[in-house]
Structure 1
Amino acid sequence: MTDSLPAQKDGGATILEIGQQPDVWREIARSTDPALKPFVDDVVARPDLRVILTGAGSSAFIGEIACATLRRHLGRRVEAIPTTDIVATPRDFLEPHTPTLMVSFGRSGNSPESLATTELADEIVDDVWHLVFTCDPSGALGKAHAGRDRSRVVFMPERTNDSGFAMTSSLTSMLLTCLLLLGPATADDAYTLAAAAEHVADLQPDIKSLAHAKKQRFVYLGSGPLAGLARESALKMLELTAGDVVTYFDSPLGFRHGPKSALDADTLAVVYVSTDPYTRRYDLDIITEIRAQLGQDAVAVLSTEPLPESHGPAIVVPGLKGFDDALVALPYLVFAQYLALFTALEHGKTPDNPFPSGEVNRVVQGVTIYPMPQERD
C-alpha cells in the first residue's frame, strides 16, 4: 500500500476527520463557554448527587473512559450506563429519589435511544438535570434541551459532526470537553494532548505497516479508563472493516480468564499501558506473556514512556508522563482510528461507508421506542 491519501470514495473523509483532531482540541481549549461552569458547579455541589454518563455505541464508550476519573475528581457517584440499557430496562437504572445529573453524548443526537433516555429520566427521577454534548445543532437531542432551565447543551465545533461512517473527531471532542467541564483537564492539557496526537499522526507509516500484515484478529487490552478505550478501539476496527476481522477487548487481568484462548498466529494484540505505576505492572506482565507465546511483533504497545528493556519495544507517545489515563486515551484513540482505517483499506473496504448496502447505518435505524408501562400500586 502506498503512503498517498486514499481517494474520497475510499476513506478521504475519515482520514481528514482523524487528522483534524489536534487542531479541534486546541479550538475547544480556546472556546469552551465559561458560562457553563456555574451551572455545572451548582449541580455537582449537591453531596447526594448521582452522575450518569450515557450514550449509544461509541458515545457510550466516552462515558466508560471518563467515568473513574470524574468519580475521583468530583467526589460523587459517577456511573457509565448506555442509553440502550436505560431504554430497555429504565427502572433497573434510574432511581426516582436520587438527584441525578444525566450527561448525554451523541454525535448527531438523532439516535432514538438518546432522546428517549432523557425523557425517561424526566419521567422517573424526581430531581434531574441534563448536560448534553453533541456535534449537530439541528439534532433532536440538542433541540429538545435547548433553553430548558435544568438543561445545558454543549455543541462541539461544526466540523466534528463527522461525515464518515465511524465516530472519530466527534468522539474525542466530546470526551475532551467533558473532561474540561467536569474533570481535571485544563486548557494547557488540551494543547499538550494535541501535540501528542500530532506525534501519533507522524507515525502513520508505522501504523500502515501494522495494517499491511492483514491480521485476522485484533485484541485490545487496557485497564481502568483504558478499558473503555480498548472497547472503542475494537468497535472502530470492526466497523471500518465491515466485520471482516474479528475483534476483542478486555483488561490485561481479565484476558487470562478464558478470553486468551482467542490468541493465534494471526492475531495482533494492542496493549494500552497505564500511566499509573501500580496498574502498569499488570500491563507489562501481559505484554511479556503474549510476546513469549506469539513473538515480539504480535503485540503493539502504546505507552507514555519506554518499557523496561526486558519487556520489548513500545510506541511511545511523549509529553504525557503522569497524565490521567482518561486524558492519555485521547491521543491513543487517534492511533486506534488510524489502525482501523488502514486495515480497512488493506481489506478492500470503503471506510467512509463500509456498508454500502445499508446493513448498518451511520445513525441507527429500525428502533421502536415503546411507552413505559405504569407501575402498579
Structure 2
Amino acid sequence: MSSLHKKTKENDTLAMLLEKPAEAQQAAGYADTLREILQQPATWRDTLQRIHAPTAQSLLANALDPRPAHLVLTGSGSSIYIGECLAPLLQASLGIPVQAIAAGTLLTHWRSVLPPGPGLLVSLARSGDSPESAAVVNTLLSEAPAWRHLFVTCNAEGKLATHYRDEPRASALVLDECTNDRSLVMTSSFTNLLLGALGLLGDALTADAVEQAAANAQGIFDQHVDAIAALARRDMHAAVYLGSGAAFGAAREGALKMLEMTGGKVVTMAETFLGLRHGPMSFVHPHTLVVAMLSADPAVRPYECDLLRELSRKQLGMAKLVVGDDIPADVLSAGDVAINTSPSASNPDIPPLLAGVVAAQLLAFCRCLELGGKPDAPSEGVLTRVVEDFALHGAMP
C-alpha cells in the first residue's frame, strides 16, 4: 500500500506526512522535497528583501546600464522554463526585446540564435555547475564580447558565482542557501530564481504582489493538499498542462515535475490553451488529467475558459485541476478541483503564476508517493541533481 493510502481519520494528507519523524521522512524519500515545497512562502519574502537591498539594486541596475538592445534568459532543464515565465513579464515592463534560449541551444547554435549585441545574458541556475552553463559564458565572453552577463543562482560556491568575480562584464546575484534545493527536483529554487530575476524590475516588483503570492501558496497548503492528493490517487496515465503567456513556462515546468517525479510513469505534455486544439487535444483521453493555469489578463481569460468548456462538452480527460483568480463555475465538471487565488493589483500575473507552479509541484509529489516512488531521488540511476560532465566539443575552456 502506498504512503498516501495510509491516511489519518481527518484525511489530512499533509499532517500525516509531516507527523512522521525526520528519520522516517528521509527513509521514505520525501523529506527534502516536502520541506522545500513548504518553505516557499517564507523564502519568497526573503528573496524580495534581498533583491530590494541597496547592494542588489545597484548590481541589477548596473546590469541594465547601458541599456541592452536585447535581453536573453538562459538555463537548462527547469531553469529555461523560468526564463520562459520571465520573458513576457520583463519585456512588457522593460520595453526591450526579451527571449528565453536554452543553454544547450546557445552552446551548439549561438551564432544563429543569439540576437545582435550589445545585450545582456541572464543565466539562471540552481547550482551554477551544469557543464553547459560555464561553457556558454566562456564562449560568449570570447566570441560575443558586446554581451554582458548576469548570473542569478542559489549556490554561492558554484562556478557561476565564483569563476567570474574578476570579469568586469559579469556579475552574480546569489540567493539564500536554503533555496539551493537538496532534492533532485527543483521546487523552491525554481520560484526563487524567478523572483530573483524579476529584481531587474526594481521597485516595480512590489511587496504586495509577493505577499499575496505567499498567502496564496499557504492557502494551497492549508486547504487544497487533500484534494490534490485525491487527484493523484486516481488512475492517471497522462497529464496535460495548459498556460498562456508567462504561465506557459509554468506549464512546461509542471509537466517536467510530473515526468521527473514519476520516472516517466505518467506521460506529460505542456501546451497553450489555444494550441491544444491543433492536434494535441488527441492527447486528452479518459486517463489524462488536465492542469489549467488561468491568466489574470481579462483579454486572455475568455479564450482559456472557452477551451475548458469545450473539454467538458466533449467529455475529454479524467478531471481538471484549475488554478487562478475567480474561476468560473461553468468551466468545472464533477470531480474537478479548483484552486481560487487572490489577485494583486500591482503585479497581477505573479500570484497566480506562482500558485500554479506550487500546485503542480504538490500534484507531482503526491503522484510519486502514490506510485511508491521517492520524490527526493526519483529515477535513481538515470537522473542526477546536477547533470554529469560531458565532452564540450569546440567550446572555450
> Is the TM-score greater than 0.5?
yes
1:239-268 residue CA offsets vs partner (Å, 9 max, x unmatched): 000111110010011111111111111011
Q: The residue matched to 1:360 in structure 2 has which SS?
A: coil
CA displacement at 1:289 relative to structure 2: 1.0
- Report the equivalent of 1:171: 190
The counterpart of 2:56, out of the listed 36, 43, 59, is 36
Q: What secondary structure, in the 3-state scheme, does the structure 2 residue paired with 1:27 have?
A: helix
TM-superposed CA distance for 1:372, in Å, is 4.5
Structure 1 counterpart of 2:194, one-letter code: L
Number of the residue aligned with 1:5: 17
Q: 2:391 is matched with which residue?
A: 368
Aligned letter for 2:64?
A: V
Shift of 1:27: 1.2
How far off is 1:327 after superposition?
Answer: 4.7
Matched, 1:347 2:366: no
Q: What RMSD in Å do the two structures reach over aligned CA positions?
A: 2.0
Q: CA deviation at 1:190?
A: 1.5
Whole-Å Cα distance in 2 between the matches of residues 37 and 12 of structure 1?
A: 35
Aligned to 2:267: 246
Determine the C-alpha separation between the residues in 2 that align with 1:220 and 1:259: 11
1:1-377 paired onto structure 2 within 5 Å: 1=5, 2=7, 3=13, 4-5=16-17, 7-9=25-27, 10-32=29-51, 33-47=53-67, 49-95=69-115, 98-182=117-201, 184-202=204-222, 203-294=224-315, 298-307=319-328, 309-312=329-332, 314-320=338-344, 323-356=347-380, 358-372=381-395
CA displacement at 1:292 relative to structure 2: 1.8
Query: For residue 327 of structure 2, what is the amino acid of its counterpart?
Result: P
The Cα of 1:84 is off from its aligned counterpart by: 0.9
Q: Which amino acid aligns with 1:136?
A: N
- Following superposition, the deviation at residue 89 of structure 1 comes to 1.3
* Residues 70-89 of structure 1: CA deviation (Å, up to 9, x unaligned): 00100111110010110111
Q: CA deviation at 1:320?
A: 4.0
Q: Is the 8 A contact 1:269 1:299 kept in 2?
A: yes
Summarize the Cα distance change of 1:55–1:296 in structure 2 as closer, same or farther, 3 Å threshold. closer
CA distances 1:139-175 after superposition (whole Å, capped 9, x unpaired): 1111112343222211111111111110001111110
Structure 2 unaligned spans of 5+ = 8-12, 19-24
Amino acid in the other structure paired with 1:50 = H
User: Is contact 1:214-1:346 (8 Å) kept?
Assistant: no
Aligned counterparts of 1:353 and 1:239: Cα–Cα separation in 2: 9
Q: TM-score, normalised to structure 1's length?
A: 0.93
Instruction: Give CA-to-partner distance per residue, 1:120-154, whole Å, 9 cap, x none.
Output: 22122232221111111111111112343222211
Q: How many residues align?
A: 370
Distance of aligned partners of 1:111 and 1:43 in 2 relative to their CA distance in 1, 3 Å threshold: closer
Aligned equivalents of 1:319 and 1:277: distance in 2?
A: 13
Query: Which letter does structure 2 place at the counterpart of 1:81?
Result: I
Percent same amino acid at aligned positions?
A: 35
Listed one character per residue, the Cα deviations across residues 358-377 of structure 1 (whole Å, up to 9, x for unaligned) are: 2111111152111259xxxx
Q: CA deviation at 1:34?
A: 2.1
TM-score normalised per structure 2? 0.88
Change (3 A) 1:326 1:121: farther
Using the TM superposition, give the Cα deviation of residue 38 of structure 1 relative to its aligned residue in structure 2, in angstroms. 3.2
Q: Which residue of 1 aligns with 2:10?
A: none
Partner secondary structure for residue 137 of structure 1: coil
SS in 2 for 1:145: coil
Q: Classify the secondary structure of the residue corresponding to 2:194.
A: helix
Q: Distance in 1 between matches of 2:149 and 2:317?
A: 47
Q: Is the 8 A contact 2:324 2:352 kept in 1?
A: no
Quote the offset at 1:233 in angstroms.
Answer: 0.3
